[in-house]
Chains A and B, each alone.
Chain A
Amino acid sequence: MPRGQTTAGTDTTWGAWNVNTVTLTGTSVTTGDNVFHLWCTGNTVSCATTSVVWETWASDATDPTWVRMGTLPHTRVRTYAQAEMPKARVGEVELRTLVHGIRDAVFALQAQEREERKKAAKVRARTLLDSLLDDGQRHTMEHKGYIPVYVEGPAPPAAPDYRGGGRKPTPLPERREYWIMMNGRHGNVKRVENDKVVESLCVAPGDSSIPEEDAWAAQLLFLRYNEHELRSRANVTLYN
């Protein structure tokens, strides 16, 4: 509604606003004036002046809340409006430096987040690995850097894929000793006889996104419960 304009009290939309329920101590308040009109004319200033609504509110002594609200922001808004924005021109070199700086900061943050996720994943995977080991295996892992695994029972057939430089795989013994070396996930499974590595098996879970500790746990599970499957998928290098 235009400032200072009155409307008929029967108007359904604005009717509620037309009821003059406010009594002001100022001058020029006409009975039946609507709220909008009061904003403009109901106090010490009238619409004809340069007064604005906020000033009317601010100068309405009957309501100190509005006085406070009206005064402080009014001053601040004027201050902000009058404040000069920096007008210095940014050169292309400075702009590029700024953009590169922001980009590098974002990359650094992303790298940090990735590193933290990776660390958390390693901790979780290590917990899973630990939960599968007995005390002896855990002790060897912590002190010697490998997990010993003993497999007993009928020996699986020799792996079809082996690299022995002309050497042929020998029959596997009834009790087989493997070491899962905690050094990478490929070629880290060794078969040992009398403390000497006789075979190196290169086999790991197909998902390379898992932490190494998960890969070692998977190798451990396969050696324990399906050595045949592990050996049949491994690339075997002979050392005997």
Chain B
Amino acid sequence: MAETKVSAAEPLPEAQAPERDEHEARSIRSALRSAEIDARLAGMLAALAIIWVVFQTITPGHTFMTPRNLWNLSVQTSVVAIMATGMVLIIVTRNIDLSVGAVMAAVGMVMAVVQHDWLPEWLGFDHPLTWVVAVIVGLVLGAAIGAFQGAIVAYVGVPAFIVTLGGYLVWRGVAWWIASGQTIAPMDTLFRRLGGGAEGTIGGTWSWIVGIAACVGIVLLQVMRRRRRARYGFRLRPMWAEIVLGVVACGAVLLAIWYLNRYYLPPGLVEQRGAAPGTNISLGLAIPVLIALGVMIVMTFIANRRRFGRYVYGIGGNPEAAELAGIKTKRTIVKTFTLMGLLVGLAAAVQIARLNAAVSSLGVGMELNVIAAAVIGGTSFTGGIGTVSGAVLGALVMQSLVSGMVLMGIEAPLQDIVVGIVLVLAVTLDTIIRRRSAK
């Protein structure tokens, strides 16, 4: 970037070194303010901890926080979490996608037909490439549907609510049509691993390796950030705070791995694998959980460190300003819907793998869970505000509530009532806090 005429010029007459004290006071205040995003996340983590502790206390037999239940919780959360990361970007740009449940069904049906009917004819039954081809077909199809809907929204100017409401009906119908409403089962053996289950996990050792790699990643990110900021002479986090942060983050990761690794294979399967009866074999992290975590990392990176992400937030904050700044706003909107479709394709793969079957009723009501997860996670319908990690946490909060209530034997209608109340409460609280901090 070339030096500009103005910045190369003499300072304006008024220009003088800012007062030291004022500078200090302001930057402390602004540092606190900038930490507010972290404060939001910390608040959500606290809310999650409270929910967990309360359920642990009140569930019969205190079964909520057993390794088994938390492991199941992690798997159950992953499908909604994968899609919620995309929904955040859609809502940030002041749009909505009501079609994700129906698209999931249509894409899921196609993936099922591909691996169940088509590929065995060409490749043979249980061919090692079957799952790869099926997943790629799903991703491409999902992205194509997303791009198509997004193009109508962006270039024709039909409101996203209408376009995706149409999609909600159309793709559900298509899903039925693909197999005339029949259930397609079973799925390919390797494909099934995408859904978790006893075979769809990476085992205890690999889980530790993933955990340690995550810790290395966290520390590396911290070091790189410090180096970059030091290069420009920016204010750095105090060293003690940096160390505490790193230790807490790595500790949390390793604690989670350790705890989930205490969920062992059922005795029957242990013997099937030829191990001595009574040995404890950890299941380790489930593959859908790894997929969801990977998606979260990639989507966070896209949202925060890529031009596309910056444009998404720019458009959400002020669409007119984004246009005047020379951003290709329409293309950006199409990209958000395409990305959403891609993630729906991925989530559909996980879902039919979990069920080991595809039905045209796949993902009924899922759009509302995904939107609710994004909103509980702090995404604002006024646009411009929302984080990927918040949406994943939102999905975890919602699934925790459902899981806890199931353990307590609460009936489904009452579960819905509770989740609905929590949704509105979360947004109400958020609105009040935001209004206060804006003043």
Do these two chains interact?
no
* Chain B residues proximal to chain A, CB less than 8 Å: none
* Chain A residues proximal to chain B, CB less than 8 Å: none
